[in-house]
Amino acid sequence: MTSPSVRTWPLVGTISAGWPSPAEEELLDKLSFDDWLIQDNCFMLSVTHNAMQDAGIHEGDIVIVQRGKKPHPGDIVIAAIDGQWVLRYYHIENGQPALYPGNGMYEVLYPKENLTVIGTLTACIRKY
């Protein structure tokens, strides 16, 4: 849903070498950044650690996380593992969940008591 103050950029199709032919140019429907990034089940999180830096997620970034969808192996998730909140890759090993870091300095985490996934990552945003 677009608010009146949201700017949109027209997506004009791909550019091939040379001048675009007027016949080829086709204005597609406008997709706002709001609709592109946010759904009704999303929230933001400010990243404060670099456990996922190999995935390109750095301290100071804002990640967008969606709630309510079942995580698939390979998804980046926010999870509470034995009471601690982490941002990690979600995997299944021998039928049990395992949380992998995107940084060689961090360990793989296996839940001793419980693991709750709050949401899965859909975007990482960095403003310069």
Integer Cα distance of 75 and 95 in angstroms: 16
Output the CA angle 20-25-27, nearest 5 degrees: 145
* Among residues 12, 15, 31, 62, the one that binds another protein under rule CB under 8 A: 62
What is residue 46's DSSP assignment? E
Q: Are 26 and 12 in contact (CB under 8 A)?
A: yes
Distances (CA, A) of 37 to 11, 52, 85, 89: 16, 20, 23, 20
67 lines the binding site for another protein (CB under 8 A): yes
Q: Which is nearer to another protein, 25 or 72 (CB)?
A: 72
Q: Are 77 and 88 in contact (CB under 8 A)?
A: yes
Q: Which of 8, 20, 32, 38 touches another protein (CB under 8 A)?
A: 38
Smallest gap, in angstroms, from Cβ of residue 67 to another protein?
A: 6
Strand partners, 50: none
Question: Of the listed pieces 14-22, 23-31, 36-44, 90-98, which binds another protein according to CB under 8 A?
Answer: 36-44
- Measured in residues, the chain has a length of 128
Q: Which is nearer to another protein, 20 or 55 (CB)?
A: 55
The answer to the question of residue 41 lying near another protein (CB under 8 A) is yes
Positions in the binding site for another protein (CB under 8 A): 1, 3, 34, 38, 40-49, 51, 62, 64-65, 67-68, 78, 80, 84-87, 116, 118, 127
